[in-house]
Structure 1
Amino acid sequence: REDKITLWHFKPTGKPSGRRPILISYALVNTPWMVDLQADRSLVARLLELGEDVYLIEWGYPDLADRWLTLEDYILGYLDRCIDQVRQRHGLERINLLGICEGGAFSLCYAALRGYKLQNLITMVTPVDFHTPDNMLSNWTRQMDVDLFVDTLGNVPADLMNWCYLTLKPVRLN
């Protein structure tokens, strides 16, 4: 545990696969349990049944105290230290990294900067191209004074991010 970040370790329930451990990096704006809402549809439970050794980063809930944390703090700080801890525990040079949603964007950045610590990179529901003409979120932010926003709030509150995502397709996501 460091600041609000918790590194969880889940041991295999099935016959150990002998493969490298998987570190899951989820989004800051939601809890990682979003991929495990139902016992019979749990990503982590299924990986454990398959004999995988799974670690998961729970980022905590960013608030005003975190307003000056940068992407570098998250990617080359917290994420890098979690990766190093998993590597150290298993005596490995490289591990598998699974990034989900915003955690996938963090993971892509990490792979570009410190890819030598990764065996495999997997991304799920990871936004990559924010400049498509029909991207409503991108259109909103093009009109925004980002400097004023950052000077005022420091970081984007998770509740605001969730509200923005819900308003993209309100009927479908509610």
Structure 2
Amino acid sequence: MYLGSPCEFTCNPKLMHVYCDPTTASCQCDPKHPVAVGVAQGCAKAKKLGEQCFYRETCKAFDSHASCVQVNHNAYCQCDSGYHQTSHTRPTTRIFCTEDLVLLTADMPTLLGVASGIFVLAGLLCMVLHLYTKARYHPTHLADARLTPPCLYSLNDTGQSDLSTKLW
């Protein structure tokens, strides 16, 4: 008999934490040991990160990115390569595996392309500003409404202009 095989009253005693479920008439994991570690081994409890383990499946049941890794004659649940252990304390303490960040790296042709583009745009900006200032301060010898007229009328003592006092 194996895990998931049909049964009547009992399952193979070599299977760990397995019982014969009367509703399905098959060998199933007991509720306290819900993780199936193999059809020939039986079932076990899920293990948290840092706990001692015997099967990889017990770590995967807690976190999909965890594995059972041997460390100095013992095996512990640890995060897979490319992941690291993270813990959050609010609202409850929770420990899980998080993917490592990949640093962005740029190659030399990309950097040269970006730098040359910046230099071209800076050159165009300088050229446009130079042309604008040249046109602004260059005398065009045209009338400018902002300037006072060169010919002013003078007023006599009575407040009338000299042109209006002359009669022909």
Does the alignment reach a TM-score above 0.5? no
Higher strand share: 2
Which is richer in helix? 1
Q: Which has the higher contact order (CA 8 A, sep 6+)?
A: 1
Larger Rg: 2
